[in-house]
Amino acid sequence: MVLGLICVCYFAYKYINGKKLPIYNQETGQENIVPEAPNKISELNLLFVGDIMLDRAIRKKIQQSTTSSDFITNYLTGFDSYNKNYDYVVANLEGPITPYNSKTLNSDGSYNQELTFTFPTSSVQILNLLNIKMVSLSNNHTANFGKEGFADTLELLDKANLGYFGNPYNSSLSQIANTICRDDICIAFVGYNQFAINNKSELISKEIKRLRDDTNVDFIIVYAHFGEEYQSKSNKNEQNMTHEWVDAGADLVIGTHPHVVQEEEIYKRKYIYYSLGNYIFDQWFNENVKTGLALDFKFIIDQNGIKSIEKIKEIKVYSTPNKIEYREN
């Protein structure tokens, strides 16, 4: 009885004064020390890719495939299995998803010069199979079939449980920003379309500041559709905009639209990629448009609450009329 009371008192003393919890083992007469539970570190691995265009020659390949899975197996070499390594993949969706007939792909299989894209409704299945769970709608083609086509796109993405952010109008028609929270990390995505009538970069800065004041947002990423097509370097206007967004609180800026890879910059310890080039596209007229870039980034909140972004690697995306494949550096 006395021994039991001593054990209880000793247990309480150790619990109050120490960080390790002793448990008395009656069989051995010894204390078993149970170490503290390790502090949790939250991490998310994301893959960022460039422009996706599922009309014209790509649409023809989709139509020639029995299923969406066959299209990926036959044309996007290893994309589905590789992309499963990430919590999710983020891309620029360069056009609407609608039930309308394509205006660039004729019924006889030929193409015309009208750059009015629409993607087949099976596109949402392709995106899901590729683990592309978040897409930017801020570009100059998402509104190709007007507000009705844009509404179809939102409805189909919602039904497929696919996330999206931004819109071709830089307006409140749909969310300029959207936030995903997973594993105790909340990432806000902001879309910008330079080619909209309402194209002031200050709108994005204002949205970034609003998000930064939201304590639930840990990281802010801007996908900007801007710049000059087929130019290998960004221009001063783009550089001023990206710096303005980082000053406002953006943690990472990724550019799309030029269809070629442009330079990387580190400004105030933040990564800026001015263009990732093409991801799934039917441009093959030179090496620059055939070669895109995918970015492997890890978002971390450590046991002390310190937030950081780590670039893991850059991956080439190489496209030919017969296949698209990853080529790791």
pLDDT for 176? 85
At 214, the pLDDT band (50, 70, 90 cuts) reads confident
Give pLDDT tens digits for 84-98: 999 999 999 999 999
pLDDT for position 113: 81
Q: Which residue has the tokens 């105790």?
A: 184
pLDDT of 296 strictly over 90:
yes
* Residue 72 pLDDT class (50, 70, 90 cuts): very high
* DSSP notation for 170-184: SSTTS-SEEEEEETT
Map tokens 């989709």 to a residue: 62
Question: How large a percentage of the chain has pLDDT more than 70?
Answer: 87
Q: What are residue 34's DSSP bridge partners?
A: 21
Range 237-254 burial, b when 16+ CB lie within 10 A, else e: ebbebbbebbebbbbbbb
Percent of the chain with pLDDT over 90: 80
Contact 279, 295 (CB under 8 A): no
**Each residue's pLDDT tens digit, 75-85:** 999 999 999 99
Band of the pLDDT at 99, cuts 50, 70, 90? very high
pLDDT at 241 over 60: yes
Average pLDDT, the chain: 89
Q: Quote the pTM value.
A: 0.87
Mean pLDDT of 223-247: 98
Residue 33, pLDDT > 80, answer no
Q: For domain 42-328, which CATH number applies: 3.30.360.10, 3.40.80.10, 3.60.21.10, 3.30.365.10? A: 3.60.21.10
Q: Is 161 strand, coil or helix? A: coil
Q: What is the pLDDT of residue 293?
A: 98
Is-contact 65 74, C-beta < 8 A? yes
The boundaries of every CATH 3.60.21.10 domain in the chain are 42-328
Render pLDDT for 38-56 as a digit per residue (tens, 0 to 9).
566 899 999 999 999 999 9
Residue 63 host element (H or E): helix 56-64
Paired sense of beta strands 278-280 and 264-267, if any? unpaired
What's the pLDDT at 329? 66
